[in-house]
Structures are given as structure tokens and as C-alpha cells.
Structure 1
């Protein structure tokens, strides 16, 4: 291009995106593409391009609603359902609806008696492998989730998220009937019972009723044990 010459819009479009390095052909199989970073051989060039993003950190697909980015177009399409109110997949047993077919498939195991994942340390069995993995932490005392603000660790991801609110001051649970907010969902649910017209927990041995289960248990121990 001549010095001082301004490229036309058409020329700019032709030169963008910049040319990428051509994938190397695997030395062991000429029909495969070879990743020179991790040594993996991949069959399709499109899959190879997606694989390269693992190493480069490139996330070219962006959600227009929340700006979250993704490595694969398929992941973006799946993510968009988060912003949709549609739940097209319905359970034929209980009527519960789901956004994703995969979520409906997982839910279907709730209605099945099949529990193919046994714990080798106790008699319990589980319908999902993920539930077995979580259960095993009870035996191993493994705590894989670390607080980002202190040195405490937790068995469950939900537990560390709730704990971190102690540091951040976040109180995401807002009572709809009064201005109170809560850090933990369990405390929030207990508080909601104070607004109920009728107490939720009744003593089976007398007519007394309570808003909190802990108060019912104290009552039973004090008067009926």
C-alpha cells in the first residue's frame, strides 16, 4: 500500500480479522490437527480452533444482556436461556418445568428408584454421581472450597458463598413484608414465619404452636420428656 494512502472500508474489511496461524498437522496421523501447547491431537479444524482458546483465554462470544463471554458459540446459546422466562421442558410425572433438556433428564431421576452410585464407606446409595461425590466429603472431611477473605475452608460451595457474606456485608434475602434483610436463607425463612397468621409448628401432645422448630423442640423437652 502506498505511503499516506488511507485504506477504503472494503480494504479494512478484507484485512480483518487478522490471519491466524495455521494449525499443524499431527506427525502421527495426517488427518489430525496437533496442538503444540499440550500435545493433543484433534480431528476437526473447527474443534481445534475451539481447543486453542483453552490456552489463549480467548472468549469471542458475548451475551448482549449481561456481557458474559464464552469460548464456544454453543455455550452462549445455552447461557441465553438464563435470561429467558421460557421453560419448555416439562416433567410428565410432577409437571415441573425446566429450561434445559439436560436439567429435565437429571430431575427425572428423582422419580426413579434406581440409585446406581453406592458409597463404599456406608450403606447409602445415590441417584447421581455428583451427589455421591458430595456425600463422600462427610467421610473424608475434605473441604475443597476456600474463603477468598480468610483461611476458612468448606465442604460445600453454597457454604463458602454464605460465609463470604460475613466479609462483604451482602444481605441478599429481603423480606417482602418488612425492611429486614438477611445473609443466610435459613435465617430469612425463619423470619418469614413471624409474619404468618398461624404458627408453622404444632405440638402433637398439647395445643401449643410455635413459629420456629427449635422452640417446639425446647418445649417438648421441657414439658413432655
Structure 2
């Protein structure tokens, strides 16, 4: 190598060394091209491998290997969506997302599955779909034996090992492993619901929610189970259904089986009577978080029936109630002429045909087809009486029993004893009482 008097490189050699990061191999100026600029991409790749993720978000600590990746990430904080659809008001944070959206306008789905007829606008989507038939799970976790058919699912799984949640909401501190989850979460703060159903006025914060909703009008169920003839309008419901084909977790008390570990943990509380979820507005407690959320909504009932004034915490409950006025019974049994207005009642009826009673009491062997029946029955062993009267110290194991008791406080006591002033709302009780004066046996009716 040629050097100056002070030992520094000269001429072209000087150009080769200036600006190279410390610890990164120097560019070979004796290569075939002899042009240092031709080798810069290779140098950058080496530097990237050495520093891994040099670009960091100052808002939430997210790190990226490229500046472009950081720029895209920053839009989750700013809400910027520079890519606009020229056929509707849709906007996206990235060009690839916009291109994916545009395909929906053409309606063209050239890629079709030969197994089940599923069609899609994108070839990669077809490749992913085919794994539902082949069972292929190419994405393997390097820390455990987990494998999946989807790359995004592997990313979510790996986050469980690291605990890393790079996407953070600047409003409330909520963190998640997925950018899409953060986008959905941010809509809760803005309250914006720009997507509206032309059939019933339903509004949604995201187009995907509206697409799912529209299937309630069209009856479309595009998600098919590959092990039976079940189909669903939503992918999440299909996933829940598929799990029923494999139930690895079993309760040692009653034989209940489930595909999910957390479901078994919640089930065990039936036996232990543990209720860790507490209401912050009253003394109610629940074994399951979902039950607590339903209860909390009871403190506010925004949905009201225009026929009788009935109020509900959820729109679906009001819809179900309206059937008491219309007489509608949409759930039809395919083995007899039975129909029901409520799905849970319909499911209980179907069990009569199969004879299946999956819920068993570990104390005495009692079996039932319905989980709610088992919950109520277990109180005969535990003595639990969770339903309290708000006007006296009476408590009951069943809500219906409490409702009957409450009539004592609300009914007019029209039957009045002229002998002692005893009053009651029930003719039978009054007849029995009068026998205490006549000398007849008051226990006989």
C-alpha cells in the first residue's frame, strides 16, 4: 500500500478507508471492479449484522434494522396514513397495505383452492390457506417445540419468551406485540367509527369489522372446518371450533375436557368456588373475567326495548329479548320440529338427541348437558347462596328463588286477619294462618 510521509494512505487508497465504521472490514480496492462505491451495499449489510437494530423509537423503544422501518413504525404514534385509495376514503400507513386493499375493489380473485373452492386475490394468501389442508407448519420456534402455519403467529409466540411488546399507546401506556393490535386499540381513544352498514346502520372503527358484520345479512360463512361440515362467518370462531376436535386438557374431578389450558383453569373454579374477579362498584365477584365484564355492564344499561321498557347491557341481549314480542325462533333442530329463540336453550335441546352430558359432579357423579346447571348444582354441596335480597337478610342459591322471594316485598298484602292483624299477599298463606285461630292443623292444606 502506498503511503505519504506521515504514514497515511494516499490517492485511491484514501478514498477506500475514509468513513468506514470501526470494527467493520475495510473495502478491498483491489477487487475486480476497483470501485469502492460498488461494494458499499455489502459493507452496509455487514455493518447491519454487527449493530443489529441501530434505529430506535424515542416514544416506545421499538428498534429497527433500517431507517425506513423506523419511519413506518412512527406512523403508529402519529396516525399518519399518506397512501390514499382513489376509489374510496381508505388510507394506509404503507404502500403494500394500500395495494392489498385496492384488490378488493376489482372483486377479482384469480387464485383458487382445488380442495374446497376458497378464492383469493393474492397468491401468498392461497399458499397460507393450503396449509389448512396439508397441516404444514413451517415456522418453528427455536426455544420450544411450538410450530405454526403463519409467520405472524410465530412472531406473537416468540414474544411470550422475551416478554417484548414494542408497540405502545401514548395515550394510556397499553403495549402489544403487533402493530395491527395497536391500531385497533387507538380507535378506542378516538371513538371514530367511519364504516357504516347500509342495511341496519351498524358502525365500526375498522373496515374488517364491517366486513364481518355484513355476513349477518348475507349469511356467508367462508371459513370451513377441514374435519367436519362446520362453517363460520369469522375466522376466530372457526379456530375455537377446531380446538374441539382436540381436547388435551382434562379435569381430574369430573372428566371435563378442553382444548385450552386457560379454559381448564377457569373450569376448576367450579370445584374450588374461587372467584378472583371483583366488581369495584358492589360486592359481586366472579370466577371468570368475562362474567365480571358482563356484570359491570349491568350498572349501565343503554339498550332499551320500545315495547315494554326492558333494558339491557348489550345489544345482543336486547335483540334476544325482542323475540319475546315477535315470537321469532331462529334456531331449528334438524332432528325434530323443535325450535328456540335462544341458542343456549337450543344447544341444551340437541344434547337430548345425543345423550351427551359432559359436565359431571366430582362429589356425587351427577351429570348434565349444561355448564350453568352444573354451576347451580354444585351449590348443593358448597352451600353457596350468592343471590342476596337488598331489602332483608335473605339469600338464595338460585336467582329464580330470589326473584320469587322479592315479591314478598313488592306485592300488596291484600289478605288481612281480623283476629290478630296478620297480613299476607298469598291466599294459601292466609288460609293456613287462619287455622291457628280455629284450632285446625295449620300444616294441612
- State the TM-score, normalized to the length of structure 2: 0.29
Q: Pick from 224, 243, 249: which aligns with 1:146?
A: 224
Q: Pick from 173, 177, 187: which aligns with 1:95?
A: 173
State how far apart, in whole Å, the 1-side matches of 2:232 and 2:123 are. Answer: 34
Distance 1:208 1:123, change over 3 A: farther
User: What residue is the counterpart of 1:31 in the other structure?
Assistant: none
State how far apart, in whole Å, the 1-side matches of 2:222 and 2:127 are. Answer: 27
Q: Pick from 192, 195, 198: which aligns with 2:269?
A: 192
Give the CA deviation at 1:168: 3.1
Structure possessing the higher relative contact order (Cα contacts under 8 Å, 6 or more residues apart): 1
1:149-194: CA deviations, max 9, x gaps? 22122223233333334433344x989xx99653477786465363
1:101-121: CA deviations, max 9, x gaps? 343222101222210010111
In terms of Rg, which structure is larger? 2
Distance 1:151 1:115, change over 3 A: same
Q: Aligned to 2:241, what secondary structure does the other structure show?
A: helix
Q: Aligned to 2:245, what secondary structure does the other structure show?
A: helix
User: What residue is the counterpart of 1:83 in the other structure?
Assistant: 158
Unaligned runs of 5+ in 1: 1-50
Q: Aligned to 1:138, what secondary structure does the other structure show?
A: helix
- Whether the aligned pair in 2 keeps the contact of 1:147 and 1:164 (CA below 8 Å) is yes
Q: Pick from 198, 202, 223: which aligns with 1:124?
A: 202
- Whether the aligned pair in 2 keeps the contact of 1:117 and 1:132 (CA below 8 Å) is yes
State how far apart, in whole Å, the 2-side matches of 1:68 and 1:111 are. Answer: 33
Unaligned runs of 5+ in 2: 1-121, 129-137, 277-283, 287-294, 296-385, 408-445
Give the CA deviation at 1:122: 0.9
| Structure 1 position 163 matched with structure 2 position 265 | no
